[in-house]
Amino acid sequence: MTGQAQTIPHLSERVLHLNESETIKMAAMAREMKQRGIDVINLSLGEPDFEAPLHIRAAAKKAIDEGHSHYPPVTGYLQLREAICKKFERDNGLHFKPDQIVVSTGAKQSLANLILALVNPGDEVVTPAPYWVSYAAQVQLADGTFKPIATSVQDNFKLSAQQLDEALTDRTRVFVFSSPCNPTGAFYTREHLQELVEVFDRHPDVFIISDEIYEYMNFEYAHVSIAEFESMKERTAIVNGISKSFAMTGWRLGYMAGPKWLADACARIQGQFTSGTSTISQMAAIEALTSDLEPTIRMREAFRKRRDLVLELITRIPGVISNKPEGAFYVFPDVSAHFGKSCQGKVISNADDLCMALLEHAHVSVVPGDAFGEPRCIRISYANSEENLRKAVGRMETFFEALSTNDE
């Protein structure tokens, strides 16, 4: 009505200062260009391009037919939590009880539950950088202080014990890390973890969140969890799930395992947000965790082959420097040698500019590294076919060769 004052919506300071996930943003832009008929190769999302194995899909169909269509317990079906406990015994030599497990709608929610349960305003949360994009945002939502520790491509993006010791303070409440790591593929061996554990032993008030979602996507070594060390067992929460290792990203199921007091706290938080996760996904997850891992092993070997292919191709490009990822399905090269150059008259000042120019001119979607705490790098997901990877890196090589320096 004319003359009537309009009601202006008021957003919270929390959401006004919260950034959109850069990986989701770049993937959305790639999809929009594809819808306009542009041949974009999307190397931005961390999502296997395989399908969930047939026997897992069959278990989901059976669950529907058997009427698993009612509210589940907040923490997940007992049968699933028992299966998760058996998985930890089988694969990690760790012994949990079902009341120490909380099943969530993805590992991302498990991480959010843990951060909200552990972090008070002003508490420090320390992590090696580069780090997964949502760690920082989740700490921000908890009003904590996010404190990344820079690592380098020369050290394979691994945190040293000395760096950790220098970073921890009496305000540090949580240390969170992933191994294998998103975005670098770095893996912490038992020997390396032992060095970090010796530091944590001198800082008994620091709780550890170990993000092990890429456990089965491990190319060089047998997986090891920091929770396997005796002094860490009661001060570590493990986060894992079915998305990456079973190609079930859309099924939205992850889980945490830790001390019962912490599992109880996560259940209280989750009960006010989502309650329990999909019953059908839970029944499928039981099948995934208790059946033959051969499909997962085949997928891992395909990713290993793709890693080697992408490394071979991308290291041919002058000014592109990469570590050798030991797991996950990403390459995270340093491309800062190309900052300051121009693409069709427009200066590329940083990784954001570079990624946008790659998308616009080479039609390849990758993610700028500053979203992961390393502004000199870009993340390339090789969760795509070998044909598309060859084509994409070929386009990137042509793009980089066409860049001009400002003194030309």
* Cβ pair 146, 136 in contact under 8 A: yes
Mean pLDDT of 266-294: 97
* Cβ pair 186, 323 in contact under 8 A: yes
Least confident of 6-20, 109-123, 154-168: 6-20
* Environment class of 329 (CB within 10 Å of its CB; exposed 0-12, middle 13-18, buried 19+): buried
Residues 344-395 have pLDDT tens digits of 999 999 999 999 999 999 999 999 999 999 999 999 999 999 999 999 999 9
For a pLDDT cut of 90, what percent of the chain falls above it? 89
Phi and psi, residue 217, nearest 5°: -95, 65
Residues 66-92 have pLDDT tens digits of 999 999 999 999 999 999 999 999 999
Q: Kindly report each contact of residues 307-314 with a partner whose C-beta sits within 8 Å and lies 24 or more positions away, as own/partner.
A: 307/185, 307/219, 307/331, 307/382, 309/382, 309/386, 309/389, 309/390, 310/380, 310/382, 310/389, 310/393, 313/389, 313/390, 313/393, 313/394, 313/397, 314/380, 314/393, 314/396
Check residues 277 and 405 and name the one with the higher pLDDT: 277
Mean pLDDT of 97-106: 98
Structural domains of the chain sorted by starting position, each given as residue range(s) with its CATH number in brackets? 13-51+295-402 (3.90.1150.10), 54-290 (3.40.640.10)
For a pLDDT cut of 70, what percent of the chain falls above it? 97
Residues 149-188 have pLDDT tens digits of 999 999 999 999 999 999 999 999 999 999 999 999 999 9
Strands 367-368 and 378-381: antiparallel
Q: What is the pLDDT of residue 29?
A: 84
Q: What is the pLDDT of residue 8?
A: 59
Least confident of 37-46, 258-267, 278-287, 328-337: 37-46
Average pLDDT, the chain: 95
Mean pLDDT of 12-25: 83
pLDDT bucket at 6, cuts 50 / 70 / 90: low
Mean pLDDT of 318-324: 95
Q: What is the pLDDT of residue 1?
A: 46
Tokens of 203: 């800082």
How far, in Å, are 91, 110, 254, 338 from residue 225 at the CA level? 10, 17, 17, 38
Tokens of 106: 């993805």
d(CA 355, CA 295): 33
All residues at 6 or more sequence positions from 40 whose CB lies less than 8 Å from its CB, including other chains: 30, 33, 34, 359, 363, 364, 365
Q: What is the pLDDT of residue 2?
A: 53
Residues 203-250 have pLDDT tens digits of 999 999 999 999 999 999 999 999 999 999 999 999 999 999 999 999
